[in-house]
Structures are given as C-alpha cells and as structure tokens.
Chain A
Amino acid sequence: MKIVVTVKLVPDPNGEKKLDPATKRLVRTGVETVINPYDEYALEAALQLKERIGGDSTVTVFCMSPESLKESLRKALAMGADGAVMLSDSSLEGSDVWASAHAMSLALKRIGFDILIVGGLTDDGSTGAVPGALAEFLGVPCLTNVRKIEIADGKVRVERETDGGYQEVTGSLPMLVTTALTIGEPRYPSLKGIMGAKKKPIDMLSVADIGAADTVGSAGSKTELLSFAPPPARGAGQIVTPEDPAAGAAAILAFLKDKKLV
C-alpha cells in the first residue's frame, strides 16, 4: 500500500503573521518555518494506517516548497515517514489554488499513490480548497473531514465528522482523504527518528520534471488577489458602573438581549 501525505511548510503559527503590501504575500523571512499543523494530523493518520496494514506499506510525504526550506521537512521523516518528494521551482511562486493544485497533481501522478491523505486546511492561506481541486485533477474520489480510516480488500471505509455526529462511507482506491483533527494527536518524533531522518531520501522535482511550464506561478493562476486589509481595530468596550449588583445584572442582561445573545 503506497500512502502519500501532502505537507505544506508554513510560518510558525505561534509567531506574528504579516502581509507584505508590495507582493501581497505572507512574510516568510525572520520566522521559523514549520509543518502546517493540520498536515501533522494527516501524517499521523498515514503512520497509523501503515502500522495497522503492515506488510510493505510505505508513507511518502509530498511537499511543494522552496528548496531552502528542505530541512523543515525532516520532522515528517523523524516522525516516521519513509521518504519525501519535494517540488521546488522559483516559477511556482505566487501560484493560486488552481495553479498549486494543478502542479501538485502532476507531481503526485508521477509519484503514484493508493491513498492520498491531505490536511483539511493550511494555517497560512486557509482556503481549504486545494484538496477538492487536487481530487478533481487526479480524477479520484475525495472524502473530507475524516476521523477514522480503514482499508480492507481494496476498499476504504471511513468515518466522516459531521455537525451532529458522523457518517460511515466506503469507496475504492485510489482515493483522496482529508483529515479532521479528531483523527488523533500527532506523535512526537522519537530521538531515533530524528537521528535516522538524515538517512532518508528527499527527492527533488522541478516544474520541468512534471511538465507544467505554462500553468504555474502568478502567470498560470486563474485568480488574482486585488487588495487586502487588516481586520478593523476593536472599538472601546462599554463600561457599566451600576448602583448595586442587581442594576448591574439588569444592564448586562439588557446588553445581551440587544445583541440577541439570550
């Protein structure tokens, strides 16, 4: 079973995020780069699946990112992935959802997979649209928000989180699955994993390798970010100084009723 997980490298979510007004892109310098937290759940799901299936199953991590961030990908190998493939090319910069998913799909066709496990969202772009676009380009079924994956007799059986509970859905391989955060807390890399990560391969692919020259980057994108603005600053709060506690409670209740919160 060839399990492939897509991973994005993003600025550390615990750091402050800034947009560069000139490029309209997230500032990625001066902040630590980490694996997108949602993708760590996808990787955890993949590693658990591999452990359950056993045999000659492998977990390969796929990442589209500048080559300079290669070392940030080692954590995935330290956690237990068998190898990684990186699609790196300066011409990929500025790709929108369509262009990103298209380039990724060409690379993933080359890599090949039985099941492709994708995090539900990225911490930087947060469009949530790439998994669906990927499935479309790859021509495979897509099951989203999955909290449990089982594979038997070439069939995938998953549990999908819904607002009120969960659904059981089956489908056939190859398939794309996006993970919910309830799939299981990502494991820590072990020290042996860290020491062994250097010996695992990170294979490099370029845009030429996947034959996507005209469809990548800003030029190959179908959408364009026109402008952006920070959220409006929060206004001053309303301070109530009541005569007594009862009057205070009445004032708070009136406020909540006015906002239709009670």
Chain B
Amino acid sequence: MNFDLTDEQLAISRLAREFATDEVRPRAEEMDREEAFPYDLVAKMAELGFLGLPFPEAYGGAGADTVSYALAIMEIARADASTAITMAAHVSLGATPFYLFGTEEQKQRYLVPLAQGKMLWGFGLTEPEAGSDAGNCRTTAQLENGQWRINGTKAFITNSGTDLSGGTTITAVTDKRADGRSEISNIIVPQTTPGFTRSKKYRKMGWRASDTRELSFVDASVPEENLLGKRGEGLKQFLTILDGGRISVAALSVGLAMGAYDEALAYAKERRAFGQTISKFQAIQFKLVDMLCEIEHSKLMVLKAAWEKDNKRDFLQTASLAKLYAGEVSRRVVNEAVQIHGGYGFMDEYPVSRMYRDQKINEIGEGTNEVQRVVIARRMGL
C-alpha cells in the first residue's frame, strides 16, 4: 500500500494552501460579515485553474485527478468554507453535468467557459417541497413547438445569481410514464431566459459569502436542444452527479475541521491560565488529540474515495461513508474548537465562531446524515 502523493498532487495541495493562506484567509471574516461574494478571489481561482481542476485540458480544464481536487477543496475550506463551496458547487454540480452527459456541442458551449472560470453555473434539483425526496419534483417542462415551457420553483441553488452566473441546469417533469410516475429530465436554462428569475440572496446561518437563491420559472422557454442527456434520465443523472459531489463536500468538511483545529491549537499555545498556557492542561491536550485523530481518519476516507474514483473502482459506498463521517467530525471539531477558546470562541472576531456556523450545513447539504445512512444501509443489503 502506498500513501505517497504524486508530485502533481503535492504541488496542487501546496498551491491551494498558499493561495488560501495568503488570499482567502485574511478576507474570510469580512466576507462573512458583509455576505459579500468574492468576485476577485473567484477571478484569481479561475486564472489559476481551480474552477476547471478535474476536467481535461481539451475542455479548458487542468486535467488533474480527483485526489488533487479533494486536496484543493480541503485547503480552501481550511481558510473559508464559503469560498470552498463556491468552487466545489461550480465544479461538481455546475460543470460536471455537461462533462458527463453533454453533447460535444454542449461541452464546447458550456463546459469550456465553465472550466475556464469565465462563467459560473448552478444545479437545480432541490425544490421547496422536494429535498431528500428529490423525486417529488413539481417543476414541469412541456415540449411545445420545439421549445420547453418551464414552470416551477427551485430552492437553495448555489452560484445561481452572481454577475458571473450563466444559468442553471434543472430537473423537471417532462411527461408521465406508463406506470404513473413522473418522467424527469434535465434542462439547461440560461440566465437570460425570459420567465426565469432569481430571488434575492438567502440570508444564511453559514456559508454567508456564497451565492444561494430561490429560482422561479414562469412559462420560461428554452429550445428543445437544451435537453441535457437522455429524456427521462434526469433523476438518474443527478444521482450520479451527487455521487461524485459527495467527495467534494466531504473534503470541504475535512478542510473546515482542519481550519478549526489550526485555530484551537494556536490559541491553546498562546492563552495563559493559572500560570501556564492552556495547552499544558491535559483536558485541552486530550481535546486536541481527539480532534487530530478524527480529522486524520476522515481525511483518509475522503482520499480513499477519491483514489477509488480515479482508479475507476466502485467508490460509491466509500464516498457516502466519507461524506457522513466527515460531516459529523466537522461538527465535533468545531464544537471543541469553540470550547477551547472559551468565551472568545463565542465572539464574532474569532474565526472559530464563523466555522461553528459554517459547519452545520455539512450535515444537511447534498444528502442529510439521515439520508446518507439510509443509502449506506441499502448498499449493505439491509
């Protein structure tokens, strides 16, 4: 067994760490407070190639592997979860559907500018009444005279309303099947489509510098050719996309935990009580050891899932386990990180306070802990 990273994986991880430390970290507190989407950081990430990291060079990407992608997300989340989700959602949810299911023309038209980071793209699966129950899709798209006429609402859609957003790919009911169930397909909806509007940004507990909105479609028409992949395979396609997306959100959880651990360790070595730094107290040492132990464990799970994906193995179970476990580890780690900070951890000016808020969504987004357990149990044959 070989745990060595390749030179490229190491170099990409180092670049991401350097970029996150020098450019992202100093801005995280202000971005969170102002709920400000970091256009300049996104432009820099685009220039460096982070927004097309895993796609082939022929489609404007950097041609790096999933392990590198996971390492990059970890380092950026270590500095700021909002910036990390902007990148992860763009790559895994916005651009990947075109890469996996797009025609060559769709790849050239959408994937290339997305991989180059010239444009951001959303992924519209969730609806006000269809979250974990994604099949309960109410949005409809009716094919009439070569046009899809779309009506419905999508909720919690990341990267859907920035100045760079080019559009969103949505699931919509396109017909009724013989068995009475809905036929669901994926439709590409450009930002400029008449009848397609975005709400104001949600006001959120965490990930406040990321762009999340509700989307509304009222007789929004797009050409028939905007169907992505095969008609009727929408749900299946989106589930495939979520399978890969689990690796990136798991990496985000690990990175957030790493960031909280960094803060807690530094604080413990600096804060004095009873005549010595609190790092000398066993109660604090045990907390830090347990945090490190769990971070290391979840990091290995994420990298294993990424390795399996890169090596064309079945990575689904490992990715689900990693997503579930890393999400819960991030909760325990941010909680202890705040505890180590004492009252200061409750103050906005300390990064752990932001991390505590940023963490919660790790256990909800892209499959709640509960759904994740159901999925895992099913694969166990239970």
> Chain A: residues with CB nearer than 8 A to chain B?
71, 74-75, 78, 188-192, 194-195, 197-198
Partner of B48, one of A75, A190, A195, A198: A190
Inter-subunit contact B47/A194 (CB<8 Å): no
Inter-subunit contact B7/A192 (CB<8 Å): no
Partner of A78, one of B11, B19, B47, B57: B11
Q: B45 → chain A, closest Cβ, in Å?
A: 10
Inter-subunit contact A191/B7 (CB<8 Å): no
The residue in chain A whose Cβ has the minimal distance to the Cβ of B48 is A190
Chain A residues within an 8 Å CB radius of B50: 191
13 further A-B pairs in the complex, CB-CB below 8 A; given A71-B7, A191-B49, A195-B57: A74-B11, A188-B15, A190-B49, A191-B50, A191-B64, A194-B8, A194-B11, A194-B62, A195-B64, A197-B8, A197-B11, A198-B7, A198-B8
Inter-subunit contact B57/A194 (CB<8 Å): no
The residue in chain B whose Cβ has the minimal distance to the Cβ of A78 is B11
| Cα distance A228–B140 in the bound complex, in angstroms | 79
Chain B residues within an 8 Å CB radius of A198: 7-8
> Chain B: residues with CB nearer than 8 A to chain A?
7-8, 11-12, 15, 18-19, 47-50, 53, 57, 62-64
Q: A194 → chain B, closest Cβ, in Å?
A: 5
Chain B residues within an 8 Å CB radius of A191: 12, 15, 48-50, 53, 62, 64
| Cα distance A194–B11 in the bound complex, in angstroms | 7
Q: B4 → chain A, closest Cβ, in Å?
A: 12
| Cα distance A101–B139 in the bound complex, in angstroms | 72
**Contact flag A192-B57 (CB < 8 Å), given A71-B7, A197-B11, A198-B8:** yes
Q: A148 → chain B, closest Cβ, in Å?
A: 24
From A190, A191, A194, A195, name the one whose CB has the most chain B CB atoms within 10 angstroms: A191
| Cα distance A192–B12 in the bound complex, in angstroms | 10
The residue in chain A whose Cβ has the minimal distance to the Cβ of B18 is A188
CB < 8 Å A-B pair total: 42
| Cα distance A194–B53 in the bound complex, in angstroms | 11
Chain B residues within an 8 Å CB radius of A75: 11
Inter-subunit contact B8/A188 (CB<8 Å): no
Chain A residues within an 8 Å CB radius of B63: 192, 195
Q: A195 → chain B, closest Cβ, in Å?
A: 5
Chain B residues within an 8 Å CB radius of A192: 49, 57, 62-63
**Contact flag A195-B8 (CB < 8 Å), given A188-B48, A190-B48:** yes
Inter-subunit contact A74/B15 (CB<8 Å): no
Chain A residues within an 8 Å CB radius of B57: 192, 195
| Cα distance A198–B7 in the bound complex, in angstroms | 9
Inter-subunit contact A188/B7 (CB<8 Å): no
Chain A residues within an 8 Å CB radius of B53: 191
Chain B residues within an 8 Å CB radius of A195: 8, 57, 62-64
| Cα distance A194–B7 in the bound complex, in angstroms | 9
| Cα distance A74–B6 in the bound complex, in angstroms | 13
Chain B residues within an 8 Å CB radius of A78: 11
Q: B182 → chain A, closest Cβ, in Å?
A: 40
Chain A residues within an 8 Å CB radius of B7: 71, 74, 198
Chain B residues within an 8 Å CB radius of A188: 15, 18-19, 48
Q: B40 → chain A, closest Cβ, in Å?
A: 14
Q: A173 → chain B, closest Cβ, in Å?
A: 32
Chain B residues within an 8 Å CB radius of A74: 7, 11
Q: B352 → chain A, closest Cβ, in Å?
A: 24
| Cα distance A18–B47 in the bound complex, in angstroms | 38
| Cα distance A197–B62 in the bound complex, in angstroms | 12
| Cα distance A123–B170 in the bound complex, in angstroms | 54
Q: A93 → chain B, closest Cβ, in Å?
A: 25
**Contact flag A194-B18 (CB < 8 Å), given A74-B7, A188-B48:** no
| Cα distance A244–B19 in the bound complex, in angstroms | 49
The residue in chain A whose Cβ has the minimal distance to the Cβ of B49 is A191
